[in-house]
Structure 1
Amino acid sequence: MKNILVISASPRKGGNSDVLCDEFIKGAQQAGHKVEKIFLRNFKVNYCTGCGVCNSTHKCVQKDDMAEIMDKMVNADVIVFATPVYFYTMDAQLKTLIDRTVPRYTEMVNKEVYYILTAADTNAANLEKTVESIRGFTLDCLDGAVEKGILYGTGVWDKGEVQSSAHMKTAYEMGLHS
Protein backbone atom coordinates (compact mmCIF):
# COMPACT_ATOMS: atom_id res chain seq x y z
CA MET A 1 0.00 0.00 0.00
CA LYS A 2 1.32 3.40 -1.02
CA ASN A 3 0.63 6.76 0.56
CA ILE A 4 -0.58 8.92 -2.36
CA LEU A 5 -1.00 12.68 -2.25
CA VAL A 6 -3.03 14.24 -5.05
CA ILE A 7 -2.52 17.99 -5.42
CA SER A 8 -5.34 19.56 -7.41
CA ALA A 9 -4.35 23.07 -8.46
CA SER A 10 -7.57 23.78 -10.31
CA PRO A 11 -9.15 27.07 -9.28
CA ARG A 12 -12.54 25.57 -10.19
CA LYS A 13 -14.25 22.95 -8.04
CA GLY A 14 -15.38 20.37 -10.55
CA GLY A 15 -12.98 21.78 -13.13
CA ASN A 16 -11.54 19.37 -15.66
CA SER A 17 -8.22 18.68 -13.95
CA ASP A 18 -10.00 18.36 -10.60
CA VAL A 19 -12.46 15.81 -12.04
CA LEU A 20 -9.53 13.77 -13.38
CA CYS A 21 -7.95 13.85 -9.92
CA ASP A 22 -11.07 12.22 -8.53
CA GLU A 23 -10.92 9.49 -11.19
CA PHE A 24 -7.25 8.84 -10.41
CA ILE A 25 -8.20 8.57 -6.74
CA LYS A 26 -10.94 6.02 -7.49
CA GLY A 27 -8.41 3.83 -9.29
CA ALA A 28 -5.76 4.20 -6.59
CA GLN A 29 -8.25 3.35 -3.84
CA GLN A 30 -9.43 0.34 -5.84
CA ALA A 31 -5.79 -0.79 -5.89
CA GLY A 32 -5.70 -0.55 -2.08
CA HIS A 33 -3.66 2.62 -1.69
CA LYS A 34 -4.19 5.33 0.92
CA VAL A 35 -5.03 8.54 -0.94
CA GLU A 36 -5.43 12.13 0.16
CA LYS A 37 -6.41 15.00 -2.09
CA ILE A 38 -5.39 18.57 -1.47
CA PHE A 39 -7.62 20.97 -3.36
CA LEU A 40 -5.34 24.02 -3.29
CA ARG A 41 -8.26 26.38 -3.67
CA ASN A 42 -9.27 25.48 -0.10
CA PHE A 43 -5.87 26.33 1.39
CA LYS A 44 -4.13 29.61 2.03
CA VAL A 45 -0.74 29.50 0.33
CA ASN A 46 0.99 32.87 0.01
CA TYR A 47 3.59 33.72 -2.60
CA CYS A 48 7.24 33.19 -1.70
CA THR A 49 8.76 36.53 -0.75
CA GLY A 50 12.36 35.46 -1.41
CA CYS A 51 13.44 36.54 2.06
CA GLY A 52 15.93 33.66 2.35
CA VAL A 53 15.27 32.87 6.02
CA CYS A 54 14.32 29.28 5.17
CA ASN A 55 17.75 28.65 3.63
CA SER A 56 19.20 28.32 7.12
CA THR A 57 16.16 27.49 9.25
CA HIS A 58 14.31 25.11 6.87
CA LYS A 59 11.12 26.83 8.02
CA CYS A 60 9.12 29.49 6.30
CA VAL A 61 8.37 32.66 8.26
CA GLN A 62 4.91 32.93 6.68
CA LYS A 63 1.95 31.71 8.69
CA ASP A 64 -0.33 29.98 6.21
CA ASP A 65 -1.23 26.40 5.24
CA MET A 66 2.01 25.58 3.45
CA ALA A 67 3.72 23.90 6.43
CA GLU A 68 0.85 21.39 6.62
CA ILE A 69 1.02 20.73 2.87
CA MET A 70 4.79 20.24 2.98
CA ASP A 71 4.43 17.68 5.77
CA LYS A 72 2.08 15.74 3.51
CA MET A 73 4.46 16.02 0.54
CA VAL A 74 7.42 14.80 2.59
CA ASN A 75 5.44 11.82 3.91
CA ALA A 76 3.87 10.77 0.60
CA ASP A 77 5.24 7.90 -1.49
CA VAL A 78 3.49 9.23 -4.58
CA ILE A 79 2.61 12.82 -5.51
CA VAL A 80 0.17 13.67 -8.29
CA PHE A 81 0.44 17.21 -9.63
CA ALA A 82 -2.73 18.28 -11.45
CA THR A 83 -3.18 21.60 -13.20
CA PRO A 84 -5.12 23.25 -15.94
CA VAL A 85 -2.79 24.64 -18.59
CA TYR A 86 -2.88 28.42 -18.87
CA PHE A 87 -0.83 29.99 -21.67
CA TYR A 88 1.15 26.76 -22.06
CA THR A 89 2.29 26.42 -18.47
CA MET A 90 0.97 25.37 -15.06
CA ASP A 91 -1.49 27.64 -13.32
CA ALA A 92 -0.43 30.14 -10.66
CA GLN A 93 -1.72 27.98 -7.82
CA LEU A 94 0.65 25.10 -8.61
CA LYS A 95 3.60 27.38 -9.32
CA THR A 96 3.06 29.15 -6.01
CA LEU A 97 2.99 25.81 -4.18
CA ILE A 98 6.21 24.67 -5.86
CA ASP A 99 7.96 27.96 -5.05
CA ARG A 100 6.99 27.58 -1.40
CA THR A 101 8.61 24.13 -1.03
CA VAL A 102 12.06 25.73 -0.69
CA PRO A 103 12.36 25.11 3.07
CA ARG A 104 11.87 21.34 2.75
CA TYR A 105 12.13 20.17 -0.85
CA THR A 106 15.38 18.33 -0.05
CA GLU A 107 13.31 16.09 2.27
CA MET A 108 11.02 15.09 -0.62
CA VAL A 109 13.08 12.14 -1.77
CA ASN A 110 12.33 8.96 -3.73
CA LYS A 111 8.87 10.07 -4.82
CA GLU A 112 6.87 8.59 -7.64
CA VAL A 113 5.26 11.46 -9.53
CA TYR A 114 2.33 11.76 -11.92
CA TYR A 115 1.09 14.77 -13.85
CA ILE A 116 -2.50 15.47 -14.85
CA LEU A 117 -2.85 18.35 -17.29
CA THR A 118 -5.97 19.70 -18.94
CA ALA A 119 -6.25 22.19 -21.78
CA ALA A 120 -8.57 23.37 -24.50
CA ASP A 121 -5.74 22.74 -26.97
CA THR A 122 -6.24 19.45 -28.81
CA ASN A 123 -2.55 18.79 -29.50
CA ALA A 124 -0.79 17.04 -26.62
CA ALA A 125 2.60 18.11 -27.97
CA ASN A 126 1.68 21.70 -27.10
CA LEU A 127 1.55 20.74 -23.42
CA GLU A 128 5.21 19.69 -23.31
CA LYS A 129 6.24 23.15 -22.09
CA THR A 130 4.00 22.60 -19.08
CA VAL A 131 5.44 19.14 -18.44
CA GLU A 132 8.98 20.50 -18.68
CA SER A 133 8.23 23.26 -16.18
CA ILE A 134 6.87 20.75 -13.65
CA ARG A 135 9.83 18.45 -14.31
CA GLY A 136 12.09 21.36 -13.41
CA PHE A 137 10.85 20.81 -9.89
CA THR A 138 10.21 17.08 -9.71
CA LEU A 139 13.03 15.52 -11.70
CA ASP A 140 15.66 18.24 -11.32
CA CYS A 141 15.12 19.15 -7.65
CA LEU A 142 13.66 16.11 -5.88
CA ASP A 143 16.33 13.45 -5.31
CA GLY A 144 15.27 10.03 -6.51
CA ALA A 145 11.99 11.18 -8.08
CA VAL A 146 10.62 8.82 -10.73
CA GLU A 147 8.07 9.95 -13.28
CA LYS A 148 5.36 7.31 -13.52
CA GLY A 149 2.72 8.85 -15.77
CA ILE A 150 1.40 11.86 -17.60
CA LEU A 151 -2.21 12.43 -18.53
CA TYR A 152 -2.61 14.92 -21.37
CA GLY A 153 -6.24 15.97 -20.93
CA THR A 154 -6.54 17.79 -24.23
CA GLY A 155 -9.59 19.19 -25.95
CA VAL A 156 -11.51 20.23 -22.83
CA TRP A 157 -12.53 23.78 -22.08
CA ASP A 158 -15.89 24.04 -20.37
CA LYS A 159 -16.11 23.08 -16.71
CA GLY A 160 -16.75 19.34 -16.39
CA GLU A 161 -16.43 18.72 -20.13
CA VAL A 162 -13.78 16.07 -19.43
CA GLN A 163 -16.45 13.78 -17.94
CA SER A 164 -17.55 12.70 -21.40
CA SER A 165 -14.02 12.04 -22.65
CA ALA A 166 -11.67 9.06 -22.79
CA HIS A 167 -9.44 10.92 -20.32
CA MET A 168 -11.64 9.64 -17.49
CA LYS A 169 -10.67 6.04 -18.16
CA THR A 170 -7.00 7.02 -18.50
CA ALA A 171 -7.07 8.79 -15.12
CA TYR A 172 -8.74 5.81 -13.43
CA GLU A 173 -6.24 3.36 -14.92
CA MET A 174 -3.28 5.56 -13.91
CA GLY A 175 -4.56 5.46 -10.36
CA LEU A 176 -5.26 1.75 -10.50
CA HIS A 177 -1.68 1.04 -11.61
CA SER A 178 -0.03 3.58 -9.32
Structure 2
Amino acid sequence: MHDADVLVFATPVYYYSVSGQFKTMLDRANPLFGTDYAFTKAYLLATAAENEAATVEGTVKAVQSWVDCFDRCELAETIFAGGVSSVGDIAGHPALEQAYQSGKEV
Protein backbone atom coordinates (compact mmCIF):
# COMPACT_ATOMS: atom_id res chain seq x y z
CA MET A 1 0.00 0.00 0.00
CA HIS A 2 2.82 2.38 0.87
CA ASP A 3 4.17 2.52 -2.70
CA ALA A 4 0.87 2.30 -4.57
CA ASP A 5 -0.29 5.32 -6.57
CA VAL A 6 -3.96 4.43 -6.05
CA LEU A 7 -5.77 2.31 -3.49
CA VAL A 8 -8.90 0.37 -4.41
CA PHE A 9 -10.85 -1.01 -1.48
CA ALA A 10 -13.68 -3.52 -1.78
CA THR A 11 -16.03 -4.72 0.93
CA PRO A 12 -19.49 -6.10 1.43
CA VAL A 13 -21.70 -3.86 3.54
CA TYR A 14 -22.26 -5.57 6.90
CA TYR A 15 -24.65 -3.85 9.31
CA TYR A 16 -24.28 -0.60 7.36
CA SER A 17 -20.50 -0.52 7.62
CA VAL A 18 -17.39 -2.30 6.39
CA SER A 19 -16.76 -5.98 7.04
CA GLY A 20 -14.71 -6.95 10.08
CA GLN A 21 -11.88 -8.18 7.88
CA PHE A 22 -11.76 -4.87 6.03
CA LYS A 23 -11.74 -2.89 9.29
CA THR A 24 -8.86 -5.02 10.54
CA MET A 25 -6.93 -4.28 7.34
CA LEU A 26 -7.45 -0.53 7.81
CA ASP A 27 -6.31 -0.80 11.43
CA ARG A 28 -3.20 -2.75 10.44
CA ALA A 29 -2.36 -0.06 7.87
CA ASN A 30 -1.96 2.46 10.70
CA PRO A 31 1.87 2.36 10.44
CA LEU A 32 1.52 4.13 7.06
CA PHE A 33 0.52 7.26 8.94
CA GLY A 34 3.47 9.61 9.16
CA THR A 35 5.40 7.94 6.34
CA ASP A 36 6.16 9.22 2.86
CA TYR A 37 3.39 7.13 1.26
CA ALA A 38 2.78 7.37 -2.50
CA PHE A 39 -1.02 6.98 -2.80
CA THR A 40 -3.07 10.06 -3.57
CA LYS A 41 -6.46 8.54 -4.42
CA ALA A 42 -8.61 5.83 -2.94
CA TYR A 43 -11.65 4.18 -4.47
CA LEU A 44 -14.32 2.20 -2.65
CA LEU A 45 -16.26 -0.70 -4.17
CA ALA A 46 -19.11 -1.91 -1.97
CA THR A 47 -21.98 -4.33 -2.38
CA ALA A 48 -25.04 -5.16 -0.28
CA ALA A 49 -28.33 -6.98 -0.38
CA GLU A 50 -30.19 -3.73 0.25
CA ASN A 51 -30.44 -1.25 -2.59
CA GLU A 52 -31.13 2.03 -0.78
CA ALA A 53 -28.56 4.83 -1.12
CA ALA A 54 -28.37 5.12 2.68
CA THR A 55 -27.21 1.51 2.90
CA VAL A 56 -23.63 2.42 2.01
CA GLU A 57 -23.35 5.66 4.03
CA GLY A 58 -21.70 4.03 7.08
CA THR A 59 -19.29 2.18 4.83
CA VAL A 60 -18.27 5.40 3.09
CA LYS A 61 -17.87 7.12 6.45
CA ALA A 62 -15.55 4.37 7.74
CA VAL A 63 -13.33 4.58 4.65
CA GLN A 64 -13.45 8.39 4.53
CA SER A 65 -12.37 8.51 8.17
CA TRP A 66 -9.29 6.44 7.34
CA VAL A 67 -8.51 8.45 4.19
CA ASP A 68 -8.82 11.71 6.16
CA CYS A 69 -5.74 10.69 8.14
CA PHE A 70 -3.64 10.97 4.97
CA ASP A 71 -3.33 14.58 3.82
CA ARG A 72 -2.24 13.75 0.28
CA CYS A 73 -5.05 11.24 -0.29
CA GLU A 74 -8.70 11.69 -1.27
CA LEU A 75 -11.60 9.27 -1.55
CA ALA A 76 -12.06 9.79 -5.28
CA GLU A 77 -15.14 7.65 -5.86
CA THR A 78 -17.49 5.15 -4.28
CA ILE A 79 -19.16 2.56 -6.46
CA PHE A 80 -22.08 0.79 -4.81
CA ALA A 81 -23.76 -2.35 -6.09
CA GLY A 82 -26.94 -2.69 -4.07
CA GLY A 83 -29.60 -5.33 -4.46
CA VAL A 84 -27.08 -8.16 -4.65
CA SER A 85 -28.17 -11.00 -2.39
CA SER A 86 -28.07 -14.15 -4.50
CA VAL A 87 -25.75 -15.84 -6.94
CA GLY A 88 -26.03 -14.10 -10.28
CA ASP A 89 -27.60 -10.89 -8.98
CA ILE A 90 -24.50 -8.91 -9.90
CA ALA A 91 -24.72 -9.87 -13.58
CA GLY A 92 -25.51 -6.80 -15.62
CA HIS A 93 -25.53 -4.50 -12.58
CA PRO A 94 -24.82 -0.87 -13.58
CA ALA A 95 -22.08 -0.68 -10.94
CA LEU A 96 -19.98 -3.10 -13.01
CA GLU A 97 -19.84 -0.68 -15.94
CA GLN A 98 -19.18 2.22 -13.59
CA ALA A 99 -16.26 0.33 -12.04
CA TYR A 100 -14.91 -0.59 -15.46
CA GLN A 101 -15.03 3.00 -16.70
CA SER A 102 -13.43 4.30 -13.50
CA GLY A 103 -10.70 1.70 -13.76
CA LYS A 104 -9.84 2.86 -17.26
CA GLU A 105 -9.26 6.38 -15.92
CA VAL A 106 -6.90 5.34 -13.12
Do the two structures share a fold, i.e. TM-score over 0.5? Answer: yes
Residue 142 of structure 1 deviates from its aligned partner by 1.2
> How far does the alpha carbon of each residue in 1:98-143 deviate from its partner, in whole angstroms, 9 at most, with x for none?
11112223323552110001011111222111100111101x2112
Q: Contact 2:9/2:43 (CA < 8 Å) preserved in 1?
A: yes
Q: CA RMSD in A?
A: 1.5
Q: 2:7 & 2:83 partners in 1: Cα distance?
A: 25
Corresponding residue number in structure 2 for 1:146: 74
Q: Indicate whether 1:165 and 2:93 are aligned.
A: yes
Alignment coverage as a number of residue pairs: 105
- Listed as ranges, the gaps of 5+ residues in structure 2 are none
Pair 1:142–1:160, CA change in 2 (3 A): farther
1:86 corresponds, among 4, 7, 14, to: 14
Q: Indicate whether 1:103 and 2:31 are aligned.
A: yes
Name the amino acid aligned to 1:175.
G
**Moved segments of 4+, more than 3 Å:** none
Question: How high is the sequence identity, in percent, across the aligned residues?
Answer: 34
Residue 171 of structure 1 deviates from its aligned partner by 1.0
- Listed as ranges, the gaps of 5+ residues in structure 1 are 1-72
Q: 2:90 & 2:72 partners in 1: Cα distance?
A: 32
SS in 2 for 1:169: helix
Q: 2:97 & 2:84 partners in 1: Cα distance?
A: 15
Residue 89 of structure 1 deviates from its aligned partner by 0.4
- What TM-score results when the alignment is normalised by the length of structure 2? 0.89
Name the amino acid aligned to 2:83.
G
Corresponding residue number in structure 2 for 1:133: 62
- What TM-score results when the alignment is normalised by the length of structure 1? 0.55
Name the amino acid aligned to 2:57.
E
* Structure of higher CA gyration radius: 1
